[in-house]
Structure 1
Amino acid sequence: KAMEYIEKCIKQDSTLLDFLQRKARILKHMGDLNKAADVMVEGRKLDLADRYINNKATEYLLHADRVEEADATIALFTRHEGDPQQNLFDMQCMWYEIECGKSQLRQKKYGLALKRFFAVEKHFNDFVEDQFDFHTYCIRKMTLRAYIQMLRLCDEIYGRPFFVEAAHGAIASYEALADKEEEKAKEEAKIAAANANMSAAEKKKAKRALAKARKAEFKRKEEEEQNAKLHKEVEEKEREAAKNGKAKANPGPTRPKDDDPFGEKLAEKPALEEAWRFVSILQRYASEDVKTHVAAFDIALRKKKFLLCLQALLKAQKLENVSAEAKKELSSRRTVFLEQVKQVTNPVVLKVINEKKAELKN
C-alpha cells in the first residue's frame, strides 16, 4: 500500500528528492536492497551538492553489498588529494566503517571486515588517549566541572553505540573464522580416517585431489589480491594525475603505509581469544545490553567454559525491557547449555552448575 501511494507522489513530481528517498526506504523494508540502493542513487543525482543524500546513497549501497560503488560515492565528498579511505579514517567516519565492515562480513571477507571494526576501536582508543592533554589543562585553568564531565565520559566511553556495534561485528567475524578452522580440522580428520582404509593407489589419487583443491583455493585468493592491487594502482594513478593537474605549491602530508591492506594479520590472530577480549570490554561497559551476554555465552561455549556460560545466562535474565526476539535467543541458548553440560566431568564445576541451574528461567 505504501508503495502504491509513493508511486502516485512520484508521478505528480518525479524531481522531488523526498519522494525518491521515501521510496528507497519502503523498498528496504520490503527486503529489496538492490532496488532500494538504485532508487537512492537516482535521488542523489538530483542534488549532487547534498552531503546528506550522498551519505544515504552510500549507506544503501553498503546494505546491498555494493562496496566498490559505495566507496566511489562517499569519495565524492572527501578530500581529493591522497587516499579517500585514509581521509575517512582520519575524519573518524565510524558509521561508514561499521556499515562497510558489516557488508564485508556478509560477503565472508573476514579480514577486510575486521580491518573496519578495528579502525573503530582505534578511534575510541585515540579518544581516551587525547583526554590526557585535558587533565593538566583543567587543573591549570580550574575548569573542574568540565574535568568531572570528562572523567565520567572516560568511565563509559566504550559503552557508546558505535563501539558496541563494532565490537559485535569483530566478535561475529572471529566466530566465523573459528568455525571455519573447526570445519577445516574436521575435514582433515575425515580425510585422514578415509585414507587409513585406502589402498596405495587410492591414497595417491586422494592426495592429488586435495592438492588440486588447495591449488584452486590459492589461485582464487591470489586473483582476488591481484585484482584489488590493480584497482588500487589505478586509483592511485588517477589521484596522482589529478594532483599534477592542480599543480599545488605545497605537497600534502605523506600517508602512512598500510602493512595489512586486506586484514590478513588480523584474521590470523587467535580467533576465540580476540573475540573474548571484545566480550570482556562489553561486559564492563555495556552490561545492560542483552547482546553482550549472548555474545559472552557463544564465545564461552566454544571455549568450553561452562561456568562463564552460566554466568552470562544468569546476568541476561536479570535485565529488564528485553525484546521478545532476545528472549527467544536466550531460551534457545539455555537449551543448548543444559544439553552441553552433560559433558562436564570436573566435580567442582558440576557442583556449581547443579546449584545454580535451578535459577535459570524458561
Structure 2
Amino acid sequence: MQCMWYELASGESYFRQGDLGRALKKFLAVEKHYADITEDQFDFHSYCLRKMTLRAYVEMLKFQDRLHSHAYFHKAAAGAIRCYLKFYDSPVNSPAEEEDNTSKTPSQKKKMKKQRKAERAKKEAEEKNEESSASGNSKFGKRHIKPVDPDPYGEKLLKTEDPLSEATKYLKLLQKNSPDSLETQLLSFEVNMRKQKILLAFQAVKQLLRLDVENPDSHRCLIKFFHKVGSMPAPVTDAEKLVWSVLEAERPSISQLQEKTLSEANKVFLGKHEDSLMHRVAVAEMLFTLDPTEKPEAVKLIEDSSNKVVPTNGAVGPVMEWKLKDCVVVHKLLDKVLIDQDAALRWKVRCAEYFPYSTYFEGGCSSAVHNSLNVNGGASHPEISQSENALVSNGKLEAFK
C-alpha cells in the first residue's frame, strides 16, 4: 500500500524536528514509488503490442511522460533536496568525531563511551533474537518473517560524502518535469550557489524573475546573488573572466537594478509592498545582508508590520491576514539569522495572541500550555477556562444570542 500523502507529511514533520535521517528516508520512499511505477510499465509495452490495444498504449506513454510532474513527486524531490542542503550546511558528526571534540570534558567522553557500548550490546541482542525467530518453524511450516529495515533512522543516508551531488540528481528531475515551478528555481538557486556555479545560479534568478518578479523569494535571490558576486575577488582565469563578462552584459537587462545600487533596489521593493509581512521580512533580511550594522533597522522593519483583517464571506469571526507558517519563518529569522533573542521573544508573545492554538508559539489555548499546567499540578488559568467555556458553547444557538 503506497500511502504517499502520509509519507510526505511524516517527512515534513521529521524535517521540522531536525531529524534529517528519517525525513530523507520518507521522501526517498515516495521517490522509490515512482521508480517502481516506471519499472512496472515495461511489461505493459509488449502486452499492448501483442494484444493490439493501441489506445491504452498511447495513453500509457503520455502518462509516463508526465509521471514525474505529479505533485507528490515534486514534494518528495523538493523535500529530499532541502534535507541535503541542510545536511551540507550543518553536517552531522559521527560518534568518533564527537568523542574527539576538544570541547568535551573527560567525564563526558567516558559517559558517551558507556552509552555507545550499551547501544552496541542492545543491537547485538536484537540481531540474535531476529536470527532465532527467523530460524524457528511453526507446525504449519516456516514462519512468515517480516523484512527488517536495516536503516530505520536513515543514518546511512546521511553518510553521503557529497550531499550536493545527491541534491543535484533530484534537482535535474524537477528542472525537467516542473520547470515553471517557483520552488524548483529556488532550489536550483540554493544548490548552485553552494556549488559555486555562478551562471547556473544566475539562470535560476532570471527564471524566478520571469515566473514572479514581485515574489519576496525572487527579490531575496536577486539581491543575494549580486551581493555575492560583488564580494568575489577579481577574475583571474579565462573562465572567470568569461563569467564576469556574461554578468556585466546581462545586468542592465534586469529592470530592478537599472541605474540602482542593491540598497536602492531594496528600498524600491519595500515601497511597492509596505503592507505585506513576507515582503517586509525579505527586505529586512537583505538590509541586514548588505549591511550588518543596519540590524536594528531590519528588526524594526519587521516589528512595525501590522496584521490586518481580511474580508471573507461566511466567516463567524474576523480572519487575520498573517499565516501561522509565515510567522514561524519570521521567528526563526529573528532568532537564527538576525540573532536578536529579545526581538524573537517579543515576536513569539505577539504571535501567541494571534494564534492561541499554536504549540510553536505556546498560545493560551494550545496543548503545550495545557500540558505544562497539568505537570505543574493543574493550576487554573483564566484564559484557558474562558476558551474551554467558549468551546463548550460552540455549536449551540445560545452562543450567538
- 1:31-81: CA deviations, max 9, x gaps? xxxxxxxxxxxxxxxxxxxxxxxxxxxxxxxxxxxxxxxxxxxxxxxxxxx
What secondary structure sits across from 2:66 in the alignment? helix
> Is it true that 1:309 corresponds to 2:219 in the alignment?
no
Cα distance in 2 for partners of 1:271, 1:351 equals 31
Task: Give deviations 1:125-158, integer Å, cap 9, x for gaps.
Answer: 0000000010001101111111111111111211
Q: Is the 8 A contact 1:317 1:361 kept in 2?
A: no
Match of 2:249 in 1: 355
Name the SS of the counterpart of 1:273 in structure 2. helix
What does residue 334 of structure 1 align with?
A: 222
Contact 1:313 1:360 in 2 (8 A): no
> Which secondary structure state, in structure 2, belongs to the residue aligned with residue 264 of structure 1?
coil
Write out per-residue CA displacement over residues 308-362 of structure 1, whole angstroms, 9 at most, x where no aligned residue. 101111122222xx496xx110101100000111216210111111122233353
8 Å Cα contact 1:314-1:359 kept in structure 2? no
1:263 matches 2:263: no
Hey, what does 1:273 align to over in structure 2? Answer: 165
Asked if the contact 2:213/2:219 (under 8 Å) is kept, the reply is no
* C-alpha distance in 1 between matches for 2:10 and 2:114: 22
- Work out the number of aligned pairs and report it: 240
Aligned counterparts of 2:39 and 2:24: Cα–Cα separation in 1 = 22
Render the CA deviation track for 1:239-284: whole Å, top value 9, x for unaligned: x9xxx9xx99587754333222211111111211111111111000
Aligned match of 1:32: none
Matches within 5 A, 1:99-114: 99-114=9-24
What's the offset of the Cα at 1:288? 1.4
SS of corresponding position for 2:196: coil
The aligned counterpart of 1:65 is none
Partner amino acid, structure 1, of 2:154: G
Gaps (5+ residues) in structure 1?
A: 1-90, 189-205
Name the CA distance, whole Å, in 2 between partners of 1:224 and 1:102. 31
Q: TM-score, normalised by structure 2?
A: 0.52
Q: Distance in 1 between matches of 2:156 and 2:67?
A: 27
Q: Provide the aligned C-alpha RMSD in A.
A: 3.8
Q: Deviations over 1:8-29 (max 9, x none)?
A: xxxxxxxxxxxxxxxxxxxxxx
Q: Which residue of 2 aligns with 1:127?
A: 37
Task: Give the Cα separation in 2 of the matches to 1:103 and 1:220.
Answer: 31
CA distance in 2, matches of 1:283, 1:274: 15
- How do residues 1-362 of structure 1 correspond to structure 2 at under 5 angstroms? 91-181=1-91, 209-210=103-104, 212=106, 215=109, 222=116, 253-269=144-160, 270-319=162-211, 322=212, 327-342=215-230, 343=232, 345=235, 346-362=240-256
How many Å apart are 1:217 and its aligned residue? 9.9
1:293–1:248 CA distance, 2 compared to 1 (3 A)? farther
State the distance in 1 between where 2:146 and 2:88 align.
Answer: 34
Using the alignment, how far apart are the partners of 2:196 and 2:52 within structure 1? 52
Q: Is the 8 A contact 1:110 1:177 kept in 2?
A: yes
Identity, % of aligned pairs? 37
Partner residue in 1 for 2:297? none
Of structures 1 and 2, the one with the larger relative CO (CA 8 A, separation 6+) is 1
DSSP 3-state at the match of 1:209:
coil
1:103 counterpart letter in structure 2: S
Which deviates more from structure 2 when the two are superposed, residues 165-174 or residues 338-347? 338-347
Q: Which has the larger radius of gyration?
A: 2
1:106 shift after superposition? 0.9
Change beyond 3 A, Cα 1:207–1:294: closer
When residues 223 and 214 of structure 1 are mapped into structure 2, their CA distance, relative to the original with a 3 A threshold, is: same
Q: Secondary structure at the match of 2:78?
A: helix
Query: What is the CA-CA distance between 1:303 and the residue it aligns to?
Result: 0.9
TM-score by length of 1: 0.57
Deviation at 1:209, TM superposition (A): 3.3
**Which of the pair is proportionally richer in helix?**
1
> Structure 2: where are the runs of 5+ without partners?
257-401
